[in-house]
Amino acid sequence: MCGIFAVLGCADCSQAQRARVLACSRRLRHRGPDWSGVYQHEGNFLAQQRLAVVSPLSGDQPLFNEDRTVVVVANGEIYNHKKIRKQFTGKHTFTTGSDCEVIIPLYEEYGENFVDMLDGVFAFVLYDTRNKTYMAARDAIGVNPLYIGWGGDGSVWFASEMKALSEDCVRFEHFPPGHLYSSAAAGFRRWYNPAWFLEQVPAAPYDPLVLRAAFEKAVVKRLMTDVPFGVLLSGGLDSSLVASVTKRHLVETEAAKKFGTELHSFVVGLEGSPDLKAAREVADYLGTVHHEFHFTVQDGIDAIEEVIYHDETYDVTTIRASTPMFLMARKIKSLGVKMVLSGEGSDELLGGYLYFHFAPNKEEFHKETCRKVKALHQYDCLRANKATSAWGLEVRVPFLDKEFIDVAMGMDPEWKMYDKSLGRIEKWVMRKAFDDEERPYLPKHILYRQKEQFSDGVGYSWIDGLKAFTEQQVTDEMMNNAAKLYPYNTPVNKEAYYYRMIFERIFPQDSARETVPWGPSIACSTPAAIEWVEQWKASNDPSGRFISSHDAATGHGAGGAHANGNGVAAVANGHGPANGAVNGGEVAVANGHGAANGNEVAVAIAV
């Protein structure tokens, strides 16, 4: 991941303003420690901090066309760049090996109507000196971060992270995923228009081989690298499939010729945590050289302020999950690794979170997956990108490949729903697609293993420790005055209050606090899904452990439960059992350590 920064239409084109641009851009250097570049044309500035992953010996930015009249800064991975290069043989002279250089000839050939031709993830700003116009664009789902701001002089600012422009803009916000901004049109236009975006329920039948092929293709294209790379491996379904497919196809790639086919796997967790045990089992099966990173609750608490600075959020679940990932990313980067693959996006696309078991029908199930995917740029994509980019480590997410999304979101959602009578658990469509008897990708007990909520997977005492710590830091009197001090997105518990105090000290602007989504949630649900179960509305903790669901329920709370989602669940917010009959099964929502699906952390690297 690189860091980009641009100011367009600035009234001040002095050396002092150029120096200010450079100072703002340097706030992104953690994202791109390998090189810095800046371009100025009158009152227009484009800067970049580079993390060199593809063509490290060339490709420094900004990038230009042949006569240097078109200039681009980009943070991206364009997986079809070689195909595009062939398209422009004899028409355009490429001067670098950068995959992002193809943006320039596409713009010259098609104007602003080329963004959908890019297969990859990206955030870029392009300036055309010939007509003094500019455009900016962000990838379909918002895997790569981008912010837009407006200066008091009418200038427009762009940055990979909020911290680069927050002090200089009178207003700023997230650049919306799947959109482009055009100075010629003086506004945004959505370039990504998939069928699922309208939230109409699809009817395509489930084809396991089509789903498998789409995912394998998504993984393989992300092995485009000229540096040592890796794949996350916690032992859960998503990361284990990413690791298994990588292991199976690595020998066929250019990367294998440079770095070999051996995988070194890495996992982070508290001593004795579920992820450590599960990752070790998967690593043994896949034949990786396995390493474990341990952290303590105090290590995590000490890192929280840095995590909030880098993540630019006060969302409770994001901070809980980011902290172990932030600590692990530093260890990984110290080994010389610059890029890893990760399993983000599966639970949103396939309804993998346990609360999806309670969806009343397939229409509501599908609408919730649409809402979750649309919001990824404010949650899991933000976490995975910023927690790792803090140390100059790039994360790639094959589940959020455009083609794979089309397949996953295009099938009849009835196939994705939990149904005990048919033997279907969450993400059954993915498990079934990779259940190969002749050439197994994973052992069956791993393939059909229910996953922990991420924050619990690294160790149950992590969340408990955070709660105990913030209870000591925030008094009852402070909570009583929370609405007065923080009238916007008022914290509802002491942990949220503590994170908000830190955030406000670092980012005191109104626009900053408005970039953070807020609302009731249970086990990573959207506020709309809270309506599925009346009793969920009483909880003020978003942890997935509040759903002790189905055969995997364990720990301090209620016992196991079964449901097909077509009824009302019994809920307990204490430490006692809660049981309710739902269509012949039992459902429990309790303050216990029930297993839940979330995002996994750990890494396997090829060196």
Predicted pLDDT of residue 590: 31
Q: How far is CA 162 from CA 8, 95, 183, 275, 409, in A?
A: 17, 32, 21, 32, 31
Predicted pLDDT of residue 195: 95
Largest CA distance in the chain: 73
The residue with tokens 């940055």 is 159
Predicted pLDDT of residue 541: 67
Confidence of residue 548 (pLDDT cuts 50, 70, 90): low
Predicted pLDDT of residue 568: 34
Q: Which residues contact 540 (CB under 8 A, 6 or more apart)?
A: 492, 493, 520
2 carries an active-site annotation: yes
**What DSSP character marks residue 501?**
H
Beta-sheet strand order (sheet of 585-589) = 570-571, 585-589, 580-582
Q: Is the pLDDT of residue 588 over 60?
A: no
Beta-sheet strand order (sheet of 35-41) = 35-41, 44-50, 3-8, 156-159, 147-150, 171-174
Predicted pLDDT of residue 231: 84
Per DSSP, the residues of 419-457 read: BGGGTB-TTHHHHHHT--SSS-SS-HHHHTPPPPPHHHH
Predicted pLDDT of residue 556: 33
Nearest CA to 605 among 53, 229, 246, 221?
229
First-last CA distance in the chain: 19
Q: What is the mean pLDDT of the chain?
A: 89
Predicted pLDDT of residue 546: 58
Average pLDDT over residues 174-196: 97
Q: Which residues are annotated as a binding site?
A: 99, 232, 268, 342-343
Number of residues written out for the chain: 607
| pLDDT per residue as tens digits for the range 151-180 | 999 999 999 999 999 999 999 999 999 999
Nearest CA to 9 among 149, 157, 126, 189?
157
Average pLDDT over residues 196-225: 97
| pLDDT per residue as tens digits for the range 489-514 | 999 999 999 999 999 999 999 999 99
- If one compares 442 and 571, the residue with the highest pLDDT of the two is 442
Average pLDDT over residues 51-69: 95
Predicted pLDDT of residue 289: 79
Judge contact between 569 and 594, C-beta under 8 A.
no
The two three-digit tokens of residue 23, written as one number:
């100072």
Q: Is the pLDDT of residue 576 over 70?
A: no
- ω into 508 cis (within 30 of 0): no
CA distance linking residue 212 with residue 217, whole number of Å: 9
| pLDDT per residue as tens digits for the range 21-53 | 999 999 999 999 999 999 999 999 999 999 999
Confidence of residue 555 (pLDDT cuts 50, 70, 90): very low
| pLDDT per residue as tens digits for the range 345-381 | 999 999 999 999 999 999 999 999 999 999 999 999 9
The residue with tokens 């669940």 is 569
Predicted pLDDT of residue 460: 78
Q: Is the pLDDT of residue 560 over 50?
A: no
Q: Which residues contact 320 (CB under 8 A, 6 or more apart)?
A: 454, 455, 462, 463, 466, 543
| pLDDT per residue as tens digits for the range 117-127 | 999 999 999 99
Among residues 2, 24, 100, 169, which one is catalytic?
Answer: 2
Q: What are phi and psi of 173, to 5 degrees?
A: -160, 170
Average pLDDT over residues 575-584: 32
Predicted pLDDT of residue 455: 56
Query: What H or E segment, with its residue span, contains residue 514?
Result: helix 510-514
The residue with tokens 């997105």 is 489
Q: Is the pLDDT of residue 602 over 50?
A: no
The alpha carbon of 238 is separated from its chain's Cα centroid by a whole number of angstroms, namely: 13
Q: Which residues are annotated as a binding site for ATP?
A: 232, 268, 342-343
Confidence of residue 465 (pLDDT cuts 50, 70, 90): very high
| Weakest mean pLDDT among 26-40, 254-268, 388-402, 587-601 | 587-601
Predicted pLDDT of residue 557: 34
Q: Can you say whether the dihedral through the CA atoms of 334, 338, 344, 346 is positive or negative? A: negative
- If one compares 256 and 457, the residue with the highest pLDDT of the two is 256
- If one compares 267 and 102, the residue with the highest pLDDT of the two is 102
Predicted pLDDT of residue 230: 85
Predicted pLDDT of residue 571: 31
Q: pTM of this prediction?
A: 0.91
Task: Tell me the percentage of the chain whose pLDDT exceeds 90.
Answer: 79
Q: Is the pLDDT of residue 559 over 80?
A: no
Average pLDDT over residues 376-394: 97
- If one compares 465 and 579, the residue with the highest pLDDT of the two is 465
Give the side-chain half-sphere CA count within 13 A for 498: 20
Confidence of residue 593 (pLDDT cuts 50, 70, 90): very low
| Weakest mean pLDDT among 379-388, 401-410, 445-454 | 445-454
Determine what percent of the chain falls in helix, strand and coil, rounding each to the nearest 5: 40, 20, 40
Confidence of residue 538 (pLDDT cuts 50, 70, 90): confident
Q: Is the pLDDT of residue 454 over 70?
A: no
Confidence of residue 545 (pLDDT cuts 50, 70, 90): low
- If one compares 423 and 455, the residue with the highest pLDDT of the two is 423
Predicted pLDDT of residue 319: 97
CA distance linking residue 401 with residue 389, whole number of Å: 20
